[in-house]
């Protein structure tokens, strides 16, 4: 493995609560990820984490796209905090990176302008009759996995090592914008070289690739994809990243934002159909994993329970390199044991 350059802020650590978390789900595009996270927290780490049934959106995409006014966002955030308060928790863990940004922003805003906090309390009370306390700690789930990465390592069945070559697998990490670009001090390693995902990759035997467009947008810029006519910009951003990472021959891409993962995955298919181009040597594309999926895979969880069959770029090439056992016949079976449906094959992208 090449020597990792010393980075000034690498050692910067944020405060991450140890236990007793209130989990807020996201509109995740990889449905096995959140279930895997809860399983890892409860069964591997023995943590207390609340998965509240009455939760709802944080308004993040609407808020950042100026279709949801800030007063609404404040009140929605206040309601989610009221659920946390009613359940007796103080450590808030929003699944989505944009939710993490929204909650952090609201709390910071209220800290600097207490009148807005009072306004949020009033709106919530009038609308729902509820009250809330501010969380003592807000951490993204990737922060928590990062925090316990070395505790998880001995439990893992696999390491990020290519079993054919014995060399570390080479990974591109893409950290969602709202994780540390809004409030750098709220991210592990701060904003320029966040350490949250690279720390996991390195701890579990892999090697992190630094490439010129590492910080470029993944293509999930809200204004790029919300308006259908603008989606060319979204594809163009992803394409710029793929072209930049291609010479380094990454084995996989790791993300901590549901949107980043989705666009870096799905647009590979789109580009392959549009331009007959894939960004790996063999035509399968570069697998994209969420950090929950990666953790689950290395712990030995069944890839189809993790939902890897729902990815556009199929993950078998990566699993073969790691040596993960899987049953191809189970790939498209539902919980009933019957095959649900077989997807059409892409024109160019191999599966």
Please report, as ranges, the residues that interact with another protein according to CB under 8 A: 5-9, 190, 192-193, 210-215, 247-248
Q: How far is the CB of 167 from another protein (least distance, A)?
A: 19
Q: How far is the CB of 66 from another protein (least distance, A)?
A: 23
Q: How far is the CB of 210 from another protein (least distance, A)?
A: 7
Q: Is the dihedral of CA 227, 233, 239, 245 positive or negative?
A: negative
Q: Smaller CB distance to another protein: residue 79 or 195? A: 195
Q: Smaller CB distance to another protein: residue 44 or 243? A: 243
Residue ranges with strand state E in the chain: 21-24, 49-51, 91-94, 137-138, 170-174, 207-208, 252-255, 288-290
> For the chain, first and last CA: distance in Å?
30
Q: How far is the CB of 179 from another protein (least distance, A)?
A: 16
Q: For residues 298 and 219, what is the distance between their CA atoms, to the nearest angstrom?
A: 28
124 in helix, strand or coil? helix
Q: Smaller CB distance to another protein: residue 155 or 216? A: 216
Instruction: Name the phi and psi angles at 207, rounded to 5.
Output: -125, 135
Instruction: Name the phi and psi angles at 244, rounded to 5.
Output: -75, -35
Q: Smaller CB distance to another protein: residue 190 or 321? A: 190
Q: How far is the CB of 258 from another protein (least distance, A)?
A: 25
Q: Smaller CB distance to another protein: residue 60 or 194? A: 194
Alpha helices in 113-182 (DSSP H): 114-128, 141-147, 149-152, 177-180
Q: How far is the CB of 116 from another protein (least distance, A)?
A: 24
Q: Smaller CB distance to another protein: residue 22 or 193? A: 193
List 252's β-bridge partners, or say none: 171
Q: For residues 145 and 200, what is the distance between their CA atoms, to the nearest angstrom?
A: 8
């Amino acid at each position: 493995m090449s020597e990792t350059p010393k980075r000034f802020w690498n050692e910067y650590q944020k405060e991450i609560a140890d236990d007793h978390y209130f989990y807020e789900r996201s509109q995740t595009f990889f449905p096995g990820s959140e279930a895997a996270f809860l399983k890892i927290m409860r069964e591997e780490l023995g943590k207390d984490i609340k998965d509240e049934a009455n939760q709802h959106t944080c308004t993040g995409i609407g808020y950042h796209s100026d279709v949801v006014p800030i007063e609404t966002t404040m009140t929605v955030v206040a309601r989610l905090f009221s659920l946390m308060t009613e359940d007796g928790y103080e450590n808030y863990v929003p699944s989505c990176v944009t939710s993490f940004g929204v909650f952090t922003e609201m709390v910071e805003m209220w800290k600097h302008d207490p009148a807005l906090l009072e306004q949020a309390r009033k709106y919530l009370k009038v609308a729902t009759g509820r009250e809330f306390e501010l969380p003592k700690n807000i951490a993204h789930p990737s922060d928590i996995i990062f925090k316990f990465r070395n505790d998880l390592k001995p439990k893992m069945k696999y390491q990020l090592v290519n079993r054919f070559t014995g060399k570390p697998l080479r990974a591109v990490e893409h950290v969602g914008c709202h994780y540390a670009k809004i409030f750098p001090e709220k991210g592990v390693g701060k904003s320029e070289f966040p350490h949250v995902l690279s720390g996991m990759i390195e701890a579990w035997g892999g090697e992190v690739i630094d490439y010129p467009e590492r910080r470029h947008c993944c293509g999930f810029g809200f204004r790029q994809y919300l308006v259908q006519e603008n989606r060319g910009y979204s594809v163009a951003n992803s394409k710029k990243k793929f072209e930049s990472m291609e010479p380094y021959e990454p084995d996989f891409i790791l993300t901590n934002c549901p949107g980043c993962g989705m666009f870096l995955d799905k647009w590979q298919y789109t580009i392959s159909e549009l331009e007959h181009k894939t960004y790996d040597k063999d035509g399968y594309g570069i697998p994209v994993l969420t950090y929950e999926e990666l953790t689950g895979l290395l712990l030995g969880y069944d890839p189809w329970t993790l939902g890897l069959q729902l990815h556009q770029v199929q993950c078998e090439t990566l699993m073969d390199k790691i040596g993960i056992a899987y049953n191809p016949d189970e790939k498209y079976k539902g919980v009933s044991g019957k095959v649900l449906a077989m997807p059409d094959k892409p024109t160019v992208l191999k599966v």
